[in-house]
Amino acid sequence: MILDDLVAATSERLELCKKKVTFEELKLLSRQSKSKGLAESFKQNLRADGLSVIAEVKQASPSKGIIVNEFPYLEIAKEYQAAGVSAISVLTEEKYFHGKLEYLREIAQKSELPILRKDFVIDPYMIYEARAAGATLILLIVAILSDEQLNEYLELARDLGMEAIVEVHNHHELTRALNTDAAIIGINNRDLTNFKVSLETTCKLSALVPENRLVISESGIQSGKDITYLQDNARINGVLVGEYLMRAKNKKDTILKMKG
């Protein structure tokens, strides 16, 4: 399983989606979806003192397979909100993460929190899709996009009242991200070409991010100790935590302990 496989699967899914709902129909739907003005408040939360937690809703991953058999996604999101997280990330990639856009749509309807569409965005169609479903945030992965696409998709997200987390894994990708006007840099501790994880990735790259950009550490965070390590050795405004929370029996208590 490598990044190319994930992109290929996304491309196949995208073609099917475009046959069901035309681009023009989707644009109309996205404009009808009311923006709650949460993108700016999310950035303000990241800038505030204390660590912001983005809690992820996902059933599976390519590296671990099925994480949980029972998947009451609405209850999980409700528990996350009760724990005071800053945002909820929802996997919508179907083949390898067992995600669905419908999960995001339903969670967005029930929650007042910003919702991140976690997927492999490779086409403007997916950004309109995210907006129509109620997302506040999208993920833009530098490794799978050209510089032109990065700038175009950032602008489109903001035009639709959303914000983007621009994800990087190495120095070259970070340089490209910083050449855009991305407000939020997501540093993925997992190498998507081989799925190996190292928190050192955040430590090294965050030191190169200017103070006027916000930093979120993603992947491989398995405990409060990991968060303490990142806070002591990296410049971060928030963390995105998925598998660790999905496996936790009491998600609210786990989040509160993580936040200290």
Catalytic residue among 45, 219, 243, 251: 219
Structure tokens of 44? 């303000």
Q: Is 118 a catalytic residue?
A: yes
**36 pLDDT higher than 90:** no
Per residue in 168-177, pLDDT (tens digit) is 999 999 999 9
Contact present, 90 and 107 (Cβ < 8 Å) = yes
Domain that holds residue 89: 3-259
The reported pTM is 0.95
**259 pLDDT higher than 60:** yes
Between 62 and 123, the higher pLDDT residue: 123
pLDDT of residue 1: 55
Catalytic residue among 218, 237, 243, 251: 218
Q: Is 179 a catalytic residue?
A: no
- Dist CA 188 CA 196 (whole Å): 11
Amino acid identity, position 233: N
Q: Is 106 a catalytic residue?
A: no
62, 117, 239 from 87: Cα distances, Å: 23, 11, 10
Catalytic residue among 45, 111, 188, 217: 188
Confidence of residue 35 (pLDDT cuts 50, 70, 90): low
The pLDDT of 217-242, averaged and rounded, is 94
Q: Is 243 a catalytic residue?
A: no
CATH of the domain at 70: 3.20.20.70
Q: Is 64 a catalytic residue?
A: no
DSSP of 201-232, one letter per residue? HHHHHHTTS-TTSEEEEES---SHHHHHHHHH
- Closest alpha carbon to 244 in 54, 110, 93: 54
Q: Is 56 a catalytic residue?
A: yes
| Number of domains the chain is built from | 1
